Copies of this chain bind each other. A is one copy, B any other.
Amino acid sequence: MAANQSRSVAVSLRQVCRYFGDVRAVDRVDLDIYDGEFFSLLGPSGSGKTTCLRLIAGFEQSTSGSILLHGQEVAGVPPYDRDVNTVFQDYALFPHMSVGENVAYGLMIRKVPKDERNRRVREMLDLVRLSGMENRRPTQLSGGQRQRVALARALVNQPRVLLLDEPLGALDLKLRQQMQVELKAIQQQVGITFIFVTHDQEEALTMSDRLAVFNHGRIEQIGTPAEVYERPTTEFVAGFVGTSNLLKGDTATRLMGSAQTVAIRPEKIRIYAPGEIIDTGMVQANGTIKEIIYLGMHNKYLVSLDNGDELTVVQQNLDALSAVNSIGRGHAVQLAWARASAHPLNPAGGSK
């Protein structure tokens, strides 16, 4: 699943900036996306990820820098001359056309003969599991079905790159999870490069081959899901992709032997009873359980360390009725984690 660095580059951004007046929506972004990759642009709203996508689609023009599609500079090339297609956040289906006409639109514009057009529309509707829906109107469809029509309409043109702008944002949780699986399967089937914009870190981790984490118009980190989650380079990434405990200053020095800030994931910390013997290779800390929050699949413990710092620990509920736990609020505990689980952050990581 990891990106193969020797593959050819599909989309390349070089020092791309896009300013709206004083607002630096996209600020000196460098990015290489490989052919056939499922690549996510992840970030909070206003972080520049959507503007980046719109720059690639041609809906926005960059203020400076260069954008290459398969090696070709595309500055000034209008959207209709770029070999990319977009799945819009609001789907942007044409309400006055049937599902079939929506999907056929790009082929009609390109004057593909009627027979071939019909065949390809049918194939595409099969792919997105909407066979037989050709004659429905978009308003007669559910949210998930509309999403699939939008996907089919973009894919039928066989673009080399597909851009997806938070396509699952409008769906509810269960449907979103189902569409994540489907979308990923379709991408593997058609083999097209997918560039996927999302603000949902779990979605980005689940679906992507690689992802870029955006903040304030800049990219904070690029890597595979595991690289980004397990080795965040900045505080922002550590906090935005999952949750992290940050050990700073004195606490970091005392526990880790260096004042450099480190991030440690709540699920990497184990809880031991006082006096229990812990592997000496582990980093150890003593504390008191301040709060236990039951979350069904796991419990979240808020533990006060002796120096007043607070750590969050997550433990999977392995046993039936594990809500009733032997470790109660106010109990003293020992915490321990593998030294390798605590990842040092880039001190220059420029975000708040």
Contact = CB atoms under 8 A, between A and B. Distances in A.
Interface of A: 44-45, 172-174, 199-202, 205-206, 224-226, 229-230, 239-242, 265-268, 270, 293-298, 314-324, 338, 340-341, 343
A294 B202 CA distance: 9
A319 B338 contact: yes
A42 to B, nearest CB: 12
B199 A323 contact: no
B172 A296 contact: no
Contacts of A323: 224-226, 229-230
A338 B320 contact: yes
Nearest to A199: B172
Nearest to A226: B323
Given A202-B295, A226-B294, A226-B323, A268 B318 contact: yes
Given A265-B297, A297-B314, 13 more contacts: A202-B296, A206-B295, A225-B323, A229-B294, A230-B323, A242-B297, A266-B297, A267-B298, A267-B316, A268-B318, A268-B320, A316-B316, A320-B343
A125 B202 CA distance: 35
Contacts of A268: 317-320
A227 to B, nearest CB: 9
